[in-house]
A and B are shown apart, each in its own frame.
Chain A
Amino acid sequence: MNTLENIRSFWPRDQVFDFLIPDMPPDLDLTHGVILYLEGISVSFGGFKAVDDLNLYIQNGELRCIIGPNGAGKTTIMDIITGKTSPDTGSAWFGQRINLLKMNEPEIARSGIGRKFQKPTVFENHTVHDNLELAMVGNKQVWSTLTAKLNSVQQGNIEAVLETIGLKEKITARAGSLSHGQKQWLEIGMLLMQNPKLLLVDEPVAGMTQQETERTAELLTDLAGTRSVVVVEHDMEFVRSIAQEVTVLHQGRVLAEGRMDEVQNNQEVIEVYLGEENAPH
């Protein structure tokens, strides 16, 4: 009798084994209009505080620029949001319901956060088309990936994204043969294929020509609105050209936040960062 009970408790009928629960993130809940909450986040690497009690809120549909000198912790913040680094303290929520600190990288990606790395990272041995195909939203479990077939709607999506990022002629080119700027666009295109609600873009115009920079600015401003976009950038010219809201980061803390012209006139900001530009060489 006892053993029978034990066996029963091992498999209660109203519960399901963990591995049978489908690997689906909860729905994104945006009822308060805020898509990303970072509160009290701190990370230290061997005693050095890379991010220090940081609070950051991103509105749905917003285009936010994060600026700050090298080593300010910008990339580390992206690492935390996307699950690469777990913070020592603090909380990170995607909408009202998704706790980012409880998820791993692929889960976060599938829940709707796309990330472009600081160094352009595409699959160089694949064609532009295949890079986008791999990134495409859908069931990404092993068996589904093995049996996946592109249908014409999906092919249409790929072509639409190619149009957006301006690489239509390069569809069959090997990604490794693209120019630096084109790789950056392709990576942004790969994010778009995932249908993300939040795009994190780390230094998109580093190493781009003037023309390429302008095109990228256009691209990013177009993307905001239906999605939220967070751009980390060094290039002040570029930030001025796209920024609505700017967050200035310094030594892992938020130094100032607000519209670009307000921030530009903030004395502290001028001292630590913006001043550099005007300082005599």
Chain B
Amino acid sequence: MISYPKILQTDLGGSLLLGILMIAGLLVPLLNLTVNDTHLLHVSTYTMALLGKYLCYALLAIAVDLVWGYLGILSLGHGAFFTLGGYAMGMYLMRQIGTRGVYGHPLLPDFMVFLNWPELPWFWNGFNWFWFAMLMVIVVPGLLAYVFGWFAFRSRVTGVYLSIMTQALTYALMLAFFRNEMGFGGNNGLTDFKDILGFSLQSDETRAGLFVASVIALAGGYVSSRWVMNSRLGKLCTAIRDEEDRARFIGYRVEDAKLWVFTFSAVLAGIAGALYVPQVGIINPTEFAPLASIEIVIWVAVGGRATLYGAVIGAMIINYAKSYLTAALPDVWLFGLGALFILVTLFLPHGVAGLFRQGSFAFWWKKKETLTVVAERANL
């Protein structure tokens, strides 16, 4: 028998999350593909894609929770890493179109033909290979985060100043990507994708595959983040958040810890972006908008900081509400979001996850947790 993973033994929220993900990952594609669409239990492809999108947002929220909840760095620019990951995937999908574009050019995407470009810009090379694009999904956001963090953390920029710098980063990228001559499709972005790894993006089976991939990415992102945060490095992160000087004076190079966790978080955000793009069918520079990055922070605040699963809950709740409200009452949405943020800050300082931790049904788990701790100590 496989024993229950150690890092989840004291993590009720995470265990429930992974359980739900596992069930959803099996059930949703099954109900989409095998149940007749007149049947009550049928899950439409639209719903499945919507849920898949939420999963990507949830992974993005985990990335923000790592740096904000655990490390105390309020990043208002994580949308940049998400979007860069998305563009890397988008470039691969563009190159898969081949001659099926409007202009039927074998090499150039439509927007380049339209702009009368003679040849593919050098940085589009290699994106015809899936493995290369996936490498870029990780390398580009990771490298940007590493370079940004190297300068910011070494010069000990903290607090509001750092937040403003992250905003400036994503804003600058947005302005750059809006320009046609950058070679990323300008304000239209990249769209009209046809297939991925040879499978048509219109087919339900491919959609189901993408959904399952998102489930796996979120679960993997959760488990790896939990592993990092349960390690001594994770303890160091909260120590830095609470008393940065103390951490420095007991011998830790605080800037290094920040740098690596920030980079890891950017990579998670990039992966989320890469899975998001084939499911929504488009990536454009509005994803870089400062407001989009601020929204992620609100998801985490509503769900509850420094719990990881709280970030997932927050991303799910708010995006569900957003999908619903922007359709039903489009004018009200932003006010609703603002009001929700204020209410949560005032009445639920630990977010929805806070409720859940104080809740009485967590009692049996607590008891189990104490027993595990006692057992561990006895083993030593």
Taking beta carbons and an 8 Å cutoff, which residues of A are in contact with B?
82, 84, 104-106, 109-110, 114-115, 117, 121-126, 130, 133-135, 137, 140-142, 145-148, 152, 155, 172, 190-191, 193-194
Q: CB of B181 within 8 A of chain A?
A: no
**Chain A residue nearest in CB terms to B256:** A142
Q: Given A123-B239, A134-B236, answer yes or no on A145-B253 (Cβ-Cβ < 8 Å).
A: no
Contact A147 B249 (CB under 8 A): no
**Chain B residue nearest in CB terms to A148:** B232
Q: CB of B197 within 8 A of chain A?
A: no
Pairs of residues from A and B, 3 with the lowest C-beta to C-beta distance, nearest first:
A109-B251, A146-B233, A110-B251
**Chain A residue nearest in CB terms to B370:** A172
* A82 cross-chain contacts in B, Cβ below 8 A: 249
* A123 cross-chain contacts in B, Cβ below 8 A: 235, 238-239, 242-243, 246-247
Question: CA separation between A122 and B254, bound complex, in Å?
Answer: 16
Q: How far, in Å, is B248 (CB) from chain A's closest CB?
A: 5
Number of interface residues of B (CB under 8 A): 25
Contact B256 A194 (CB under 8 A): no
Q: CB of B260 within 8 A of chain A?
A: yes
**Chain B residue nearest in CB terms to A190:** B250
**Chain A residue nearest in CB terms to B254:** A106
**Chain A residue nearest in CB terms to B232:** A148
Q: CB of B373 within 8 A of chain A?
A: yes
Taking beta carbons and an 8 Å cutoff, which residues of B are in contact with A?
228, 231-233, 235-236, 238-239, 242-243, 245-254, 256-257, 260, 373, 380
* Chain B interface main SS type: helix
* B260 cross-chain contacts in A, Cβ below 8 A: 142
Q: Name which of A104, A106, A133 has the most chain B CB atoms within 10 A of its CB.
A: A106
Partner of A130, one of B235, B243, B248: B235
Contact A140 B252 (CB under 8 A): yes
Contact A106 B251 (CB under 8 A): yes
Contact B257 A125 (CB under 8 A): no
Show 10 A/B contacts (Cβ-Cβ < 8 Å), sorted by A. Answer: A106-B253, A117-B245, A124-B243, A125-B238, A142-B256, A145-B252, A146-B233, A148-B231, A191-B250, A194-B250
* B231 cross-chain contacts in A, Cβ below 8 A: 145-148
Contact B250 A134 (CB under 8 A): yes
Q: How far, in Å, is B247 (CB) from chain A's closest CB?
A: 8
Contact B239 A134 (CB under 8 A): yes
* A140 cross-chain contacts in B, Cβ below 8 A: 251-253
Partner of A145, one of B236, B243, B380: B236
Contact A126 B239 (CB under 8 A): yes
Q: How far, in Å, is A250 (CB) from chain B's closest CB?
A: 27
Contact A135 B250 (CB under 8 A): yes
Question: CA separation between A148 and B238, bound complex, in Å?
Answer: 16
* B256 cross-chain contacts in A, Cβ below 8 A: 141-142
